[in-house]
Amino acid sequence: MTEEQKTRRAEAARENGAKSRGPVSDIGKYISSLNSIATGEHLDLRKEDLPECIALLSTDCRLSYLRLYQKHLRQFQPHSDCEHTMLRHMCVELFQLERTINLETHARQHGIDETLRAYPDLSDADLQLFGYERGLQKDKLWRSLHRDKRAYQSAYANYVKLFKQLRRDFPVTPPEPVNSDADVNLAEDPLPVPEVVAEILGHADRAKNEPSYEMPPWVVEVILNEELMAEIAPGYDVEELLEKLTAASVPLAA
């Protein structure tokens, strides 16, 4: 390339770079933030920022998952971060298997309870029989639960196999220290995501401006939780909202 061509190309690159505003989405910003990580020696600086392999629903017991994870941590004792990631996948599959079994038990117990309300004098054996007959009407549910159980069992077994294969084919000697702080932190209930916080505050602002507006019960529950509001919206004046609603004699929830 001639000097003139190099100059034109550099000028074009500067113009294109000036138009860029960088990543916009959260995941784009996260990926961009990792650009400075070139080797594993700097990875410890960002262990807490790395996304975990987790599949917890809002109705799940976080401590139950954590106990399952700790059992696997003691049993398999991962020698590297790669093995630790595989262990997380194992725990997720087994936890989802346990969740499915609990759902099946709850569904069967629900059928027994319905039978007991209709026929309070039946023996336990008859209750189980009639409850089972009621359950036959939910054949699609049972087949779905059974299919899910088999899928989670198979996935768990495959991850155990992959874990052992990873350790055999790529041994780490001596073992690397594995940081489990991010997993232990799962015991804490997660804070609402920014979109949900914005929705909560939107309901609250509408209640301030429209005296007759009744906020949804779940919004009221958050608004009245002082500790939670201090975390997600530290500058929001909840007292002003409550004073306006009290003055207008508006119930907090429908």
10 and 103 in a single domain? The answer is: no
Q: How far apart, in whole angstroms, are the C-alpha atoms of residue 183 and residue 66?
A: 8
78 and 171 in a single domain? The answer is: yes
202 and 113 in a single domain? The answer is: no
235 and 149 in a single domain? The answer is: no
- Picking from 187, 205, 237, the residue at the C-terminal end of a domain is 187
Number of domains in the chain: 3
Q: Whole-structure pTM over 0.85, yes or no? A: no
123 and 44 in a single domain? The answer is: no
CA 138 remoteness from chain centre: 29
In a domain, 57, yes or no: no
CB 116 within 8 A of CB 122: yes
- Picking from 164, 187, 210, the residue at the C-terminal end of a domain is 187
In a domain, 56, yes or no: no
Domain span at residue 207 reads 194-247
Tens of each residue's pLDDT in the chain, 254 residues = 678 877 878 777 777 666 666 666 655 655 555 455 444 444 444 444 444 566 788 788 888 988 999 999 999 999 998 899 899 999 999 999 999 999 999 888 888 888 888 888 888 888 888 777 777 778 888 899 999 999 999 999 999 999 999 999 999 988 988 888 777 777 777 677 788 888 988 988 888 888 778 888 888 888 888 888 888 888 888 887 777 767 655 555 54
In the chain, the N- to C-terminal Cα span, in Å, equals 73
23 and 66 in a single domain? The answer is: no
170 and 201 in a single domain? The answer is: no
Residue linked to tokens 């939670």 = 228
90 and 173 in a single domain? The answer is: yes
